[in-house]
């Protein structure tokens, strides 16, 4: 229905304000201030007492943001900006509420009511409404102004959302790159998962970022949680087998929850803390690493389709980064192991063989000296000079014997080092010799120096499981006791699996000697032995 025609000069007088509003829309990316200015300008240009601009949620038929002029807070709570006439197309301009017609409940009292849809192409972004013109019904000029301003509002909303989407994508891409960089610079598994959870929580604006991993019982357990609130009770929470949501998660499907506290699929005890939530699979190449969950507090805005898309892409990239980081850690560990194996080979092929050859030469020299000493003793009566020579030869033989013993000890130490180098890093030892070295290596961190360890005999073959446990317990206690002694600077550990026990049986003997000041102020030696 057409309204009264407004005189030309009166309409022309409003053009400067209209042009200013149009220019401001194109120059300001701050959406809130632009839309508020459109509401203020539309009420001023048409002479309306009340104005409202409602922006629709892009994924739901409800008002997401509301800008008003001349309306109280109580009236804001009941505004209905949707057209009542479903047959009216999205571009329809509706006029309601004449002087002789009572406006619908919740609308401000008005002599006339105009509403125009805010469009970007064919999508309805919201509605711009005017009401309460004191001078009479709205004119055709008012309607034309409203159409122009609604179109400008659509442009402003469209530009702002495009800009916001671009910025949002930029943040998620930068976040994914930061996660990839952090993971590939070398972090352990726990730190890697926390990095993913923390970055995703910040990017999604969630109250928590948690990582769930499958359990042996067929459920999923929260193993990592990043939250600004108290995280108590979150880590360790388990989704039990049989849960409806678990089927999707283990199948690698994303799950989107409107309200975690009321959704029947959610069964954990912590669900009452949260509202909207995304649960996204962390999988790469068919391998399911776990699930990334991003819950928001109850009452906070739901996740949009764009939020879900970007978070899903982030989860895929984070999963790939986790797999690459894990593979890189394996490669680095393999490189370390290969390098240690090379060093062990070099030590065995060069150092040990040379030491052993030197020991053999010294042993031969010692025996020759001992033989000559015996001959010299028989000729002792021939003169004092020869007796003195015999004494010098005896001293030389003693020195040679000590040199042989030292070389033998050095060979044992080098062989122990070779064995330690050949053990896979960061892996529990599978042999008894390896378990002994693990005990002494662990004590080194507490003592401040590594104990010297020597093995004799086939300890890995002869020492049984039960005897090995007893020996390790004695070794552990001896190392702990030695640590408490003042003046401690060295500990020697010897494990000999070729000793002869008093009853004639073959046994294993442990000797732990230290230079600390014991009860009598002297070094202490602990000896333990048992049959093998």
DSSP 162-180: HHHHHHHHHHHHHHHHHHH
3-class SS of residue 5: coil
- Report whether pLDDT(179) > 80: yes
- Of 207-221, 393-407, 491-505, where does mean pLDDT reach its minimum? 393-407
User: What's this model's pTM, rounded to 2 decimal places?
Assistant: 0.54
The 10s digit of each residue's pLDDT in 279-290 is 998 888 777 888
Rounded Cα gap, residues 113 and 51, in angstroms: 10
Residue 354 CA, distance from chain mean position: 50
pLDDT at residue 7 greater than cutoff 60: no
Q: Which residues contact 318 (CB under 8 A, 6 or more apart)?
A: 176, 179, 180, 196, 199, 200, 282, 292
Q: Single out the residue of 144, 158, 157, 153 nearest to residue 52, CA to CA.
A: 153
User: Which pLDDT does position 394 carry in this prediction?
Assistant: 65
- Quick one: average pLDDT of 267-275? 81
- Burial of residue 190 (CB within 10 Å: 0-12, 13-18, 19+) is exposed
Does the pLDDT at position 316 exceed 50?
yes
Segment of 194-203, 335-344, 353-362 carrying the highest mean pLDDT:
194-203
Buried b (16+ CB within 10 A) or exposed e, 304-320: bebbbebbbebbbbbbb
> Which parts of 156-254 are beta strand (E)?
208-214, 220-227, 238-239
């Amino acid at each position: 229905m057409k309204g009264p025609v407004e005189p030309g000069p009166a309409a022309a007088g409003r053009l400067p304000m209209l042009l200013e509003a149009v220019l401001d829309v194109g120059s300001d990316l701050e959406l809130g201030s632009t839309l508020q200015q459109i509401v203020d300008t539309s009420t001023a240009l048409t002479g309306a007492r009340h104005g409202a601009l409602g922006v629709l949620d892009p994924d739901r038929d409800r008002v997401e943001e509301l800008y008003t002029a001349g309306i109280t807070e109580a009236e804001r709570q009941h505004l209905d900006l949707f057209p009542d006439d479903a047959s009216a197309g999205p571009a329809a301009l509706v006029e309601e509420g004449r002087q002789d017609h009572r406006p619908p409940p919740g609308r401000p009292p008005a002599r006339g009511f105009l509403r125009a849809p805010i469009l970007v192409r064919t999508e309805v972004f919201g509605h711009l409404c005017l009401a309460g013109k004191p001078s009479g019904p709205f004119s055709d000029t008012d309607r034309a102004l409203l159409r122009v301003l609604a179109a400008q509002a659509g442009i402003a909303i469209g530009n702002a959302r495009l800009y916001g989407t671009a910025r949002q994508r930029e943040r998620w891409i930068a976040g994914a790159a930061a996660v990839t960089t952090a993971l590939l610079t070398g972090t352990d598994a726990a730190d890697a998962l926390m990095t993913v959870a923390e970055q995703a929580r910040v990017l999604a604006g969630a109250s928590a970022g948690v990582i769930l991993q499958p359990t042996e019982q067929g459920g999923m357990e929260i193993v990592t949680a990043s939250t600004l609130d108290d995280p108590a009770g979150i880590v360790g929470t388990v989704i039990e087998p049989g849960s409806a949501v678990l089927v999707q998660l283990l199948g690698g499907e994303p799950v989107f929850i409107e309200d975690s506290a009321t959704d029947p699929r959610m069964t954990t005890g912590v669900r009452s803390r949260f509202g909207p939530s995304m649960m996204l699979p962390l999988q790469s190449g068919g391998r399911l690493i776990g699930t990334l969950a991003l819950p928001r507090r109850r009452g906070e805005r739901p996740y949009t389709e764009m939020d879900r898309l970007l978070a899903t892409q982030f989860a895929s990239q984070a999963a790939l980064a986790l797999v690459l980081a894990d593979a890189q850690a394996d490669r680095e560990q393999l490189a370390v192991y290969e390098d240690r194996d090379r060093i062990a080979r070099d030590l065995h092929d060069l150092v040990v063989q040379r030491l052993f050859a030197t020991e053999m030469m010294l042993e031969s020299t010692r025996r020759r000296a001992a033989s000559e000493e015996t001959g010299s003793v028989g000729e002792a009566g021939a003169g004092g000079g020869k007796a003195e020579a015999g004494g010098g030869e005896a001293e030389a033989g003693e020195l040679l014997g000590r040199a042989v013993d030292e070389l033998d000890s050095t060979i044992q130490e080098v062989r122990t080092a070779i064995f330690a180098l050949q053990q896979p890093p960061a892996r529990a030892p599978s042999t008894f010799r390896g378990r002994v070295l693990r005990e002494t290596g662990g004590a080194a961190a507490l003592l401040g120096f590594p104990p010297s360890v020597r093995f004799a005999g086939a300890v890995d073959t002869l020492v049984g499981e039960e005897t090995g446990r007893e020996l390790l317990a004695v070794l552990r206690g001896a190392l702990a006791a030695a640590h408490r002694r003042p003046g401690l600077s060295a500990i020697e550990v010897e494990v000999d699996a070729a000793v002869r026990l008093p009853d004639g049986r073959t046994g294993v003997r442990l000797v732990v000697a230290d230079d600390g000041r014991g009860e009598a102020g002297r070094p202490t030696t602990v000896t333990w032995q048992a049959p093998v």
